[in-house]
Structures are given as C-alpha cells and as structure tokens.
Amino acid sequence: MTKTFPIGGIHPDKHKIAGDIAISSPGLPEIVYIPIKQHIGAPAKIMVNKGDKVKVGSLLAAADGVVSAPIHSSVSGEVIKVEDIIGEFGYYEPMIAIKVEGDVWEDCIDRSDEIVREIPDDCEEIIAKIRSAGIVGMGGAGYPTPIKTTIPEGKKVDCLILNGIECEPFLAADDRLMQEKGEQIIIGAKILNKLLGIQKAIIAIDENKPKAIEIITKLTKRYVGVNVRVCESKYPQGGEKQLIAAITGREVPSGKLPIDVGCIVQNVGTVFAIYEAVMKNKPLFERVVTISGDSIEKSANFMTRVGTPASFLIEKCGQISDNLGQIVFGGPMMGTSAVNPDAPITKLTSGILLLSCALSDKQPETPCIRCGKCLDACPMGLQPNAIARAVRSHNLDALQELHVLDCIECGSCAYTCPARLPLLDCCKLAKMELRQHQTKK
Amino acid sequence: MLKISSAPHMSSPINTSTIMRDVIIALVPAAIVSILFFGLGALTVIISSVAACMLCEYAICRWLLHKKSTLRDYSAVVTGLLLAYNLPAWFPIWMILVGAFVAIGISKMAFGGLGKNIFNPALIGRVFLFVSFPLQMTTWPKPKFLDFLYTDAQTGATTLGIIKHIDVKNSTEALTQYSTSISELPSYGQMFIGYTGGCIGEVSALALLLGFGYLLWRKVISWHIPFYYIATVFIFTSILWLTTKSPIYDPIMHLLSGGLMLGAIFMATDYVTSPMSTNGKIIFAIGCGLLTVIIRLYGAYPEGVSFAILIMNAFVPLIDRFAAPRVFGTGRK
C-alpha cells in the first residue's frame, strides 16, 4: 500500500533522466568560491585571511551563535580572496575564494570506503561532532541540524522519518545516494535514533524509485527498527508536513512544528552527512548534485565539493542546446533561476537544471476563470486565487483570514493555473506583507 | 542569453484555451444529433449563434474597449454553442443576434469579460429571448431523421410542455385529456437518443453524456455538479412519483426531458459562475436540482433548468465563502 498526503497535490512530468546514472566525481575546479552563509540563521564568522593555506576539511568560518553553522574548506590550496561575490540568488554574498593546489585532506578525516557500524555511546559527543561538521538540512531549508536533533523541554518524539521522496522533477541526487550509500544512511538513522532516544526510523521513498526501494528494503532487514514506507509519486509528497501526514496520519497544526506532533523529518542526504561526520570525522563540504534538464546533452550526478562553480559542472555534461531558457539551482518547482552560471554549489544545492524555453518560459497572464484547480492542487487547503486577489488589493484582513502564512510555497497552484496567474509569487508577497504588518503591530 | 523568472519553472500543459477547446469538443456529439434530427434548422441556429457571439466579443474588445481581442481563448465559441443549444430549430436569425448581444455584451463583457461575470452568459441570452419572444421560443419543430432541408416540419409540444397541461383534478374531461396527452409523450428510448421536440442541443441525453465522459476523461470538470444535480432531480421526483403514482412526476422522464442534461453537464459546471470548492459544488448542484423540480412542477413555466441555474449563480459568492476548503492543520471536522 502506497501512502500519500490527504489534500491537494499535482502530478508534473517526472523527467527522472538522472535516476540511473551513478554518482561520479567531476574533478576539481581551479578556484572554489565558498559562501559563508549556507544555512538559515547567522552567517558564519570568517576565521581565515587572504594568503592562508588550507586543507580539505579545514575550518574556514565558525558558527556564530546557536542558529548558525560552521563552514569548512572543500579543497586544499591558498585563500586568494575574502570578498563579496554574486551567488546563486544574484545578490552579492561574502565568500572565501580558494585557489586549488593538490588534494590534501585534514588528517583526522577517515577516507577509507569501509563502513563503520559502531555507534559512539556518548550522545554529547555525537551532537558535538554534528555541530562541528557544519551539518544543515540538505533538503533545501538549510536549518542547522544540531538544533533539530535536540528535543526541547516538554516535547516528546516518537517518530523519525527519513525523507527519501525527492518529489521535484529531474532531481535524482537523493535517489542515487540511497542506491549507493544505503547502509550508511541506515547507520545514520540509528545514530539519530540514539540521539532522540527512540527505537524506530522510517525511510520514506516514493514509488518512482523502485531500485532505491529494493536496495534499502534489503538492507533494513539487517537493522532492527528501520523500515521502508513507499509513498505515492505525487508532488509535494516530500514536503515535511505532507510526509508526516502520509506516514503517520498526523497533521502538524497551523503555525506549529513537526516536533509538536512527535515527529522529526530528516532528508536522506542530511542523514548520510551525519553518518560521515560521526563515523568518519568528515565535515560537510561535498554533496551529490544532479545535473540534468532538457537542454543539456548528458545528465549526471556529481559528488561535488561545495564552492564549485555551477558552470564547471555544466561543462562536464556535453553540449548545451540552443533552446536553453534558464539555469535553475534546485528543482524546477521550488528552485531559483540563476543570474550567474558561475555561482557556486552550496550545501543546499540539490541540482543544476538546464531548462529549455519551451519548458520554462512564463506564458502571459490571462483572467482568472475561477476554475478552482488551484484549490484542488493546494496541499495546505488554501485558496490561492483568493490570496492573489487579496494581495493585489492589499487587503490584509482577508489575507489573515485566508491562512496565507500556512503556505509552504510548493508552487502547485502556479503550476496548475490554466490562466497562468503568478499565484506562488502572490502567496510569497502576501506572506511578506502580512509578516511586516504583524511586526509593525 | 539566460532568462530569469520566479518559481515554479514548469507549468501544466493545460491552459484556458485548451480547456475551452475541450468543452467545444465535448459539445460536438450534441451538434451532430441536432443536425441529424433538425437538419438545416439546427445548423443555421448553431452557425449564426457562434458567429454572432464571436463578432460581438470582437467588436466590443476592439472598438469599445480598444484592447486586444480575447477571441483566442475560445470562450465566445462556447457561449455561442450553448446559446444555440438552448434555442429551437429554425429560430429567427435576427433574434439570435439579439440573444448573442445580450449574452456576450451585457452578461459577460459589461461585467468585465471572461471570469468576471456573475451569471452564465448563454443562459442570460436564452432567458432574455424567452421572455421577449415567448412564441418563437416555444415553437418546437418535430424531429425528422436525416431530412436535411427540413422545410415542411410540423411543430409540436415538448415532453415537459405536455405534462404542464395535464390537469391532475379528477374530472371525466380531465381524464380524457389525460390519456390523449400521455399518448403524445415520447418513449424513454426516443428521449434518450433525442428523437423528440425541444431545443436543438438539449434533446439527446446520449450525446450529452458522451460529452460528459469526454470532459471527465480530460479532467475539465469534476463529476460532482452533474451527478448531484441530476441525482437531486431524480430523488425529488421519485419521492413525488412514489407517493402520488402520477405520470407527471415520472423521474426517468424528468431526467431525460427538457434542459436537465445540458444544464447539469455544461451550464451548471461553467467555471466562472459555479463554486470552486468540492463542497461548494455539491451545495450548488443540490440547490439547482431542487429549484429545477420546483419550477417545473409548480411554476408558470414548463422548463426550470435555466432559471434554477441562474438563481444559484447568484448564490455562488456566498457558497464559496461558506464552503471554503479546510486548511491543513486547522481543526478536523
């Protein structure tokens, strides 16, 4: 029986071209640009100066407070610049540029392929390792992981869900990781189990990844308490609240967090990074990035060092076709179209997609015909067209009533709208206006 | 040259024009049946109504509003077809022009064009013609299979017209009239394929149901409004029929006669003038069903569908407010 979330959802074309392509190394670029903010919260404090020599895994910037994460060098070489460079969103961001010289790793990192299965006894030690490795939620939110693994006073957790849904079209990074590093992910789940003081973990995989389901199911037989649940291929099945509802039937109340219904959801990529940090002493400085799209010759899944310019990866994938419209960082539903193709990969970049004009061009807006398709698509039960109307007439009271702050910004409404209204933009704008209004009060 | 746009970077292949095109395709079987049974009489009505609606929209867009014509969304074609389907064969062309002007000009464009109108334009056009030209609107040529020119057609009453005149009082005179009236009624089979008097597009339940199947398959509409509308009519008339045993309440006859199928499948499901949420659609459809039976049986007119839908159109904003979907994470009912 496949599981799914209770309301809304859409079925965009999957385009999972990269699902059968093994993870490979793209090699090292000449220069990497490492942003000092790759997470939600305060930017990290820069600890290096121009001219410093660093190794792979050296600390470049330290966490600034609790809601922050340290940044490590992904290459060995010389720091050549510490300055503002245009990032994936098109804004100048402070970055550390390192000229690559060789590939010398910090000595403490275990580079062997051997799988370590002995989980350390001391929870404090585990959390300290996760914190110093700079691990953040790699599904896209970038919330520092140590906070998510520490249960606040008065809350109880009884359900750990590993998110292997990857419902965005084209992306296959998590799929490949599950196929190739399945056991490490399961050990990572056991580490989290220990931290949370529970025995069970559920790995949620959506039904369009039969190989990952098969491999993980086979592996879980050797680990007590870890189970696979197959979910329907529907977007946004991988949304945190949707996944919890699909697996447990619990609804995270409006304005609350998963922990309020006793659940913790971690992306499988994050869990793999936890394994590497705890068992291999390896900080988070590389991740799987899917290069795909309908405007590039070959797709690939690259184990990419953070800071590698996207253009370096794109060059490894053959010819770009003439009809290229956009280069998207992340998935086509929630990703950002890049202003600068040289922008670096961060801890949160799950994919670089080259989308054709035919696929990605925005069509002109026509009048709303009140078809109600956005209501049927919204996984949160909102009324996107009413939100659009209210935000365009600056009706803040109406926005409040329409629960716009519950919007998860999945874009199902805008994808579906036959009149091509920019419904997601309107929802984002509405959330911003309403938040500003509330803080003013 | 790279383009920059906000998420999402993909969109569904369905847009307003493809939806309207699908509705037009779904209306084709009814057009074929009407031409088979009413020949040239139906064809002239369909062509002149569609042409008049398109011309009217074009003229208003270009010469009154000075903006780009909105003909390419095909919604004027849909209105034109639906207006034609609500008229009898051989309906005078100049009256069709008046109807098209009322439908497009007054009911749609005056409210701000597609998406802004409160009432279904084709129905407003029909009701305007109905109250302005009651004689022509109730002159029903009898169907003749494959007689294309169809110039010598006799006229007769529709099923609902016949039962409207049945006097249920128990006098001898009434009884004789009763039996002659009953003998005039077409059989269920005739009504199902459309071999009966009536507006050109409403006669054939079969053709309309084919169109309904297509709309469902293409996911243009959900099944809720047609199902609940038709089911309400069926249940309401069944209760009356079972308690009185009078043939004027015959539920199957009520399903197959008049504009019920056309109204329930194509007019009550008009996106613009029907509720958006599923619960809203159900409330709307049940309201339409109840009003249809009440008007048919107790009102002055034999036909209830047009008025029922128009009345419920007026309630749509209220229904939308009342039947808003439940927000995820707020109290489960």
pLDDT at position B176: 66
- Residue scoring higher pLDDT (B164 or B202): B202
Query: Is B136's pLDDT higher than 80?
Result: yes
Q: Distance between CA A326 and CA B4 in Å, rounded? A: 6
pLDDT at position A249: 92
* A-chain residues near B19 (CB < 8 A): 369, 371, 418
* A-chain residues near B113 (CB < 8 A): 367
Picking from A357, A381, A416, the nearest residue to B12 by CB comes out as A416
What mean pLDDT comes out for the span B308-323?
95
Q: What is the largest CA-CA distance in chain A?
A: 64
Picking from A169, A370, A415, the nearest residue to B276 by CB comes out as A370
Residue A117, φ and ψ in degrees, nearest 5: -110, -10
Do B17 and B120 touch, CB atoms closer than 8 A?
no
Q: Distance between CA B272 and CA A66 in Å, rounded? A: 51
Over residues B34-50, the pLDDT tens digits come to 999 998 989 999 999 99
Could A420 and B4 be called an inter-chain contact, meaning their C-beta atoms sit closer than 8 Å?
A: no
Give residue for tokens 């967090």.
Answer: A257
B329: left (phi over 0), alpha (psi -120 to 50) or beta: left
Spatial CA neighbour of B161 closest among B253, B55, B62, B67? B253
Taking CA–CA distances from B116, the nearest residue in chain A reads: A369
Q: Is the dihedral of CA B49, B52, B54, B60 positive or negative?
A: negative
Spatial CA neighbour of A291 closest among A90, A34, A24, A95? A24
DSSP 8-state assignment for residue A104: P
Over residues A394-419, the pLDDT tens digits come to 999 999 889 999 999 999 999 999 99
Q: Chain B: give the shortest CA distance to residue A336, in Å.
A: 7
DSSP 8-state assignment for residue A193: H
DSSP 8-state assignment for residue B106: I
Burial classification of residue A207, based on how many CB atoms lie within 10 Å of its CB (0-12 exposed, 13-18 middle, 19 or more buried): middle
Estimate to the nearest angstrom the gap between the alpha carbon of A330 and the chain centroid: 8
Look at residue B269 and give its three-state secondary structure.
Answer: coil
Q: A351 - beta bridge partners? A: A290
pLDDT at position B333: 43
> Which residues lie closer than 8 Å to A371 by C-beta, 6 or more apart?
A418, A419, B19, B271, B276
Going by pLDDT thresholds of 50, 70 and 90, the confidence category of residue B147 is confident
C-alpha angle B242-B247-B250 in degrees, rounded to nearest 5: 60
**CB contact A398 to B (< 8 Å):** no
Window 363-392 of A: residues touching B by CB (8 A cutoff) are: 363, 366-372, 375-376, 378-383, 385
Q: Report the percentage of chain A scoring pLDDT > 70.
A: 100
Do B207 and B32 touch, CB atoms closer than 8 A?
yes
Do A135 and A273 touch, CB atoms closer than 8 A?
yes
> Which residues lie closer than 8 Å to B211 by C-beta, 6 or more apart?
B26, B27, B28, B29, B30, B265, B266
Taking CA–CA distances from B326, the nearest residue in chain A reads: A381
Look at residue A304 and give its three-state secondary structure.
Answer: strand
> Which residues lie closer than 8 Å to B219 by C-beta, 6 or more apart?
none
Taking CA–CA distances from B221, the nearest residue in chain A reads: A371
Q: Distance between CA A332 and CA B11 in Å, rounded? A: 10
pLDDT at position B152: 61
Picking from B7, B327, B332, the nearest residue to A382 by CB comes out as B327
What mean pLDDT comes out for the span B63-72?
88
pLDDT at position A313: 95
Q: Distance between CA B190 and CA B183 in Å, rounded? A: 14
What mean pLDDT comes out for the span B54-63?
94
Q: Distance between CA A115 and CA B124 in Å, rounded? A: 74
- Of A242-246, B46-50, B113-117, B167-171, the one with minimum mean pLDDT is B167-171
DSSP A19-66: GGSPEE-----SEEEEES--SSSSPPEE---TT-EE-BT-EEEE--SS
Estimate to the nearest angstrom the gap between the alpha carbon of B285 and the chain centroid: 13
pLDDT at position A438: 87
Taking CA–CA distances from A408, the nearest residue in chain B reads: B328
Over residues A346-386, the pLDDT tens digits come to 999 999 999 999 998 999 999 999 999 999 999 999 999 99
Helix (H) or strand (E) holding B322: helix B305-322
Picking from A254, A416, A418, the nearest residue to B16 by CB comes out as A418
What mean pLDDT comes out for the span B137-141?
85
Tens of pLDDT along chain A (441 residues)? 688 998 899 999 989 989 899 999 999 999 999 999 999 889 999 999 999 999 999 999 999 888 899 999 999 999 998 989 888 888 888 999 999 998 999 999 998 888 988 888 898 999 999 999 999 999 878 899 988 888 888 888 999 999 999 999 999 999 999 999 999 999 999 999 999 989 999 999 999 999 999 999 999 999 988 999 999 999 999 999 999 999 999 999 998 999 999 999 999 999 999 999 999 999 999 999 999 999 999 999 999 999 999 999 999 999 999 899 999 999 999 999 988 889 999 999 999 999 999 998 999 999 999 999 999 999 999 999 999 999 999 999 999 889 999 999 999 999 999 999 999 999 999 999 999 988 887
> Which residues lie closer than 8 Å to A153 by C-beta, 6 or more apart?
none
ipTM of the complex: 0.88
What mean pLDDT comes out for the span B267-282?
95
* B-chain residues near A327 (CB < 8 A): 2
* A-chain residues near B12 (CB < 8 A): 10, 12, 415-418
Could B276 and A90 be called an inter-chain contact, meaning their C-beta atoms sit closer than 8 Å?
A: no
Spatial CA neighbour of B128 closest among B96, B93, B168, B175? B96
